[in-house]
Amino acid sequence: MEPRIRSRDMRLRPASAKDLRRMGRCGRVADAIALILRFLHIWFGIAWIGALVYGVSVLRRTLARVDAATAKELMKKLIPIVTRFLPGSAVMTILFGVLLYLYLGAFDVPYLTGSDWGRTLLAALVLSLATFAIGMVFGVRSAKKILGHLNEESCAHGPEVGALQKRFNLSQFVALALGLVIVALMVLATEGL
C-alpha cells in the first residue's frame, strides 16, 4: 500500500519523496514524543479515575464499618492527601491530554474540530474540565470544610457535617460517572469511531 498523508484541506494524498524523507527523519522523534505524552496522559488518568473508584467502592464501605473515633482520625489524615492528590492528578491528566490532542492533530485547528476523532476528543476535554470543576467546587471544598469540623475539640455541627459528607459523596459519584464517560470517549476516539 502506498504511503499517504493529509493535505491542508484534510484529504489524503499520496506522499511525495520529500514527504517520505521528512517522515523518516522526524517519524522516530515524533513517535517517541507521542508515546511519552500518551503514557503520561494515561498514567495520570489512571491515578485520577483510580482514586475515585477506590474512594467510592472501598473507602466509603470501610469507613462505615469502623467506630466514629477511628473514622474521624482516619479522615483527618486522609483529607489533606486527597485534596491535593485528586486535583493534581486531574490537572496532569487534562494537561497531557491537551498536549497529546494538539500534537496528534498537528496543531491543525480545522482537523481538530472538523474530524470525528477531533470532535470526540474535544468533547472529552470539555467533559474533563467540567468533571474537574465539579470535583473542585463540590468535592474538595466540602472535604476541606469537613476537615475543619473534624479538627474542632467538640463539634456541635452534626447536621452541617452530615450535609457536607453527602455533598462530598455525591461529587465523588458524579465525578466517577463522568470519568467513565470520558474513558468511553477515549476508547471511541482510538477506535476511529
Question: pLDDT tens for residues 11-21?
Answer: 556 666 666 55
Do 101 and 121 meet the contact criterion of CB atoms below 8 Å apart?
Answer: yes
Q: How confident is the model at residue 82 (pLDDT cuts 50, 70, 90)?
A: very high
Rounded Cα distance, 99 and 187, in Å: 18
58 in a structural domain: yes
2 in a structural domain: no
What would the pLDDT profile of 20-72 be if each residue is shown by its tens digit? Answer: 555 555 566 677 888 999 999 999 999 999 999 999 999 888 888 988 888 88
Counted domains in the chain: 1
Q: What is the pTM of this model?
A: 0.80
150 in a structural domain: yes
6 in a structural domain: no
Range of the domain at 77: 19-190
Asked if the model's pLDDT at residue 80 lies above 60, the reply is yes
156 in a structural domain: yes
11 in a structural domain: no
12 in a structural domain: no
